[in-house]
Amino acid sequence: MLNVERRREGGLLDARGGYSRFVIDAVSPVPDTEHWSYGSFQFDVDTARRTVPLVRDDGTAAAFTVPEFVSEPRDLAEISRIVIAACERWENRQGVGG
């Protein structure tokens, strides 16, 4: 399950329109991307799911959530690049007439 979320005022907009409680800190660059870094990963023990925040240098953010067994750095990097590309396509469409 991938959740693309937009950052606003230091939090991530969640599906209900509220803001998540975790803080995004740019921790390390996402491999093979420009201007994007990982935020601090969050793990939900109750659901065994990991949320991976992505932060662009200009403050734009996205995040995705995966099951616990998706933990290999190469897998997370590949999913990150897919989410980043989708976010940037969405932004381009919004600028054109959205």
Closest listed residue to residue 17, CA positions, set 25, 5, 26 = 5
In a domain, 2, yes or no: no
In a domain, 85, yes or no: yes
What is the arithmetic mean of pLDDT over 75-95? 94
Q: Residue 73's domain spans which residues?
A: 7-96
Number of domains the chain contains: 1
Say how many residues make up the chain.
98
In a domain, 78, yes or no: yes
pTM for the full model?
0.71
The confidence score (pLDDT) of residue 30 equals 96
In the block, residue with structure tokens 């469409």: 93
Bridge partner list, 40: none
* pLDDT for 72 beyond 90: yes
In a domain, 1, yes or no: no
In a domain, 69, yes or no: yes
In a domain, 32, yes or no: yes
Mean pLDDT for the chain overall: 80
What is the Cβ-side half-sphere exposure of residue 20, based on CA atoms within 13 angstroms?
Answer: 21
CB atoms within 10 A of CB 63: 26
| CA pair distance 50, 41, nearest whole angstrom | 7
| CA pair distance 58, 76, nearest whole angstrom | 22
In a domain, 37, yes or no: yes
